[in-house]
Structure 1
Amino acid sequence: MPTETFFNLPQEKKNKIIMAIKNEFARVSFDKVSINKIVQDANISRGSFYMYFEDKKDMLIYVLSNYHEEVMSTIKESFKDNNGDIFEVFKDILKFTTNFGTSKENIAFCINIFSDQTVQNDVMLQFANRSRQKEFFDLFKDHIHINTLNLQSPKDVDDIIDILISITQKATMDIFLCLGEKDEILEAYNNKIAILKRGMLKENI
């Protein structure tokens, strides 16, 4: 994560650096990202860059962390709007992610990130650390209406969340990699959610 020096910068300067980082990741794949291009676009020195970030992996994790915070806010709002219905919440997560990733300013960035094997095998593993995973699961457990689910043991809640994460992640990657098939992918995803909902809810719900 960035150093305290970065966080103490004026907001306008931080925004300019973040935009330069996102533009560079949108321009080329992770392995070809140029620190020189970023510092040039952000109008900072190379020395200043290394006062803010350790390396390009560090700055990408920071950008992803900002996105993670937006997702967490979306989840909280969705639970409130959908009366604790976990299935509708995951549909809202996919909707938010799709809208974010297919907007003009983010599309190239997201395609490069999701299609880059180095990012998937290295950066994403570091980003999805234990504390962040726990935060995600705890948020769901705090807001799910447990009494509506067909549970056989307390561990079933974790497994239900894990299953829904898996199909949502796959749908997200499919959309970014096959934008022309977006509607078909969303339809298939909603059908899977409906099937899971039938099996995971109590019969009288």
Structure 2
Amino acid sequence: MPKETFFHLSKEKQQRIMKAAKKEFSRAPLGEASIAQIIKDAEIPRGSFYQYFEDKEDLYFYYFKSMHRNARQELQVAMEQANGNLFDGFELYFSKMVNEVLQGPNAAFYQNLFMHMDYRSFHKVAPPFDRSHPSNHPSHRKMQDEEWQAFYDIVDLSLLKLKNQEELKILVKLLMHVVFSTVAEGYRQMLTGDKKIDTEKIETEFRLKLNWLKSGAAKEITEKNE
């Protein structure tokens, strides 16, 4: 999160910095993005940047959060629409988010994010599935716990081969990995083949992966009678 001094800036100056962040992080992934370019576009001294943010990573993930996508809330809505069916809910969630991520106004930023995602960045941008996700403030952590508990309560465990809610958390995290990897594959297909993203093909691939997880990909081997 930005330092307190950032929030004391005028709205116009905050917006100028965020506009510069969008431009640079849409041009290049985090590791290659230039602070020099950001401060040039934002028209601020280099020293001022470090009065507002710890480093460019601090600005990067704050910009991500500023796009107002609440994956936990979107998942909960999808799960309610699917009457608690976890796999149907994830299918609904994916079909709604994939167009925004691949073709929306922030598509260039998302492309750099998903194409260069590692374990650390996944846990920075993925929903905080449980208490293991860091939170600096106890009241914020308590609110996160309550929000996620509301989500887990919607899921119909009777439809799943799970022993308890802890196993549900592991499965939800696995499904979110599938969401992120499928989006990344969509960008790779665009870069190596047609320049136009085929969202219908990407959604079909996602449903295939869901079906493998739901029903298994291995055939049952039966012994032949001699």
CA distance in 2, matches of 1:112, 1:102: 11
Give the % identical residues: 28
Query: Residue 202 of structure 1 corresponds to which residue in structure 2?
Result: none
The CA deviation at 1:32 is 3.0
Residue 147 of structure 1: which of 134, 158, 164 is its match?
Answer: 158
1:131 corresponding residue in structure 2: 133
Partner of 2:171: 160
Quote how far apart the aligned CAs of 1:144 are. Answer: 1.4
2:210 to 190, 193, 196: 193
The number of residues matched between the two structures is 197
Post-superposition shift, 1:124?
Answer: 4.1
In 2, the alpha carbon distance for the partners of 1:111 and 1:66 equals: 17
Which TM-score applies when normalising by structure 2?
0.70
Q: 1:123 to 1:14 in 2, by over 3 A?
A: same
Q: Aligned ranges for residues 96-135 of structure 1 at < 5 Å?
A: 96-103=96-103, 105-116=105-116, 120=118, 122-124=120-122, 130-131=132-133, 135=144
Structure 1, gaps ≥5 residues long = 200-205
Match of 1:170 among 166, 169, 181: 181
Q: Alpha-carbon deviation of 1:191?
A: 2.5
Q: Where in structure 2 are the equivalents of 1:56-95 lying within 5 Å?
A: 56-67=56-67, 69-95=69-95
Gaps in structure 2 of 5+ consecutive residues: 136-140, 191-196, 217-226
SS at match of 2:31: helix
Describe the superposition over 1:29-66 as per-residue Cα deviations: whole angstroms up to 9, x where unpaired.
43332212212222322222111111111111212334
Amino acid aligned to 1:186: E
Aligned residue identity for 1:26:
S
Q: Distance in 1 between matches of 2:204 and 2:160?
A: 24
Query: What is the alpha-carbon distance in structure 2 between the residues aligned to residue 39 and residue 2 of structure 1?
Result: 15
Note if 1:183 corresponds to 2:194.
Answer: no
Give the conservation status (yes or no) of the 8 Å contact 1:98–1:172. yes
Q: Compared with structure 1, are the counterparts of its residues 185 and 39 closer, same or farther at alpha carbon in structure 2 (3 Å cutoff)?
A: same
Secondary structure of 1:141's aligned partner: helix
Asked whether the equivalents of residues 94 and 172 of structure 1 are also in contact (C-alpha less than 8 Å), the reply is no
1:5 aligns with 5
CA deviation after TM superposition for structure 1 residue 21, in Å = 0.6
Conserved? CA contact 1:39–1:46, under 8 Å: yes
User: Contact 2:30–2:60 at 8 Å: present in 1 too?
Assistant: no
1:69 Cα deviation from its structure 2 partner: 4.8
Q: Distance in 1 between matches of 2:161 and 2:120?
A: 36
2:73 partner letter: S
Instruction: Measure, in 2, the Cα distance between the counterparts of 1:40 and 1:147.
Output: 56
In the superposition, the TM-score normalised over structure 1's length comes to 0.76
Q: Over aligned residues, Cα RMSD in angstroms?
A: 3.1
What is the SS of the residue equivalent to 2:118? helix
Aligned residue number for residue 203 of structure 1: none
Structure 1 residues 87 and 124 mapped into 2: Cα distance closer, same or farther (>3 Å)?
Answer: closer
Question: 1:86–1:144: 8 Å Cα contact kept in structure 2?
Answer: yes
